[in-house]
Amino acid sequence: MTAFKHGPKPVIGLVGAIGAGKSTAARCFAARGGLVIDADGLGHAALTEPKVIQTLVDRWGGSVRKADGSLDRHAIGKIVFGNRGERDMLQSVVFPYIAERVREEIERGMNIPDVPFVINDAALLLEAGWANMVDKIVYVDAPRELRLARVAARSGWTAADLEAREAAQWPADQKKKQADVVIINDSGTTELQEQVDRLLNGWGLVPDFHGVLPWPN
pLDDT of residue 75: 94
Average pLDDT, rounded, for the chain: 91
pLDDT of residue 31: 93
pLDDT of residue 100: 97
CB 139 within 8 A of CB 175: yes
Gyration radius of the chain's alpha carbons:
18
pLDDT of residue 206: 80
Residues (pLDDT < 70) of the chain are 1-2, 208-217
pLDDT of residue 1: 44
Which residue in 121, 138, 118, 111 sits closest to 39, CA to CA? 121
Class assignment of domain 11-202? alpha beta
Q: Where are the beta strands (DSSP E) in the chain?
A: 11-16, 35-38, 118-121, 136-141, 181-184
H/E segment holding residue 190: helix 189-202
pLDDT of residue 167: 87
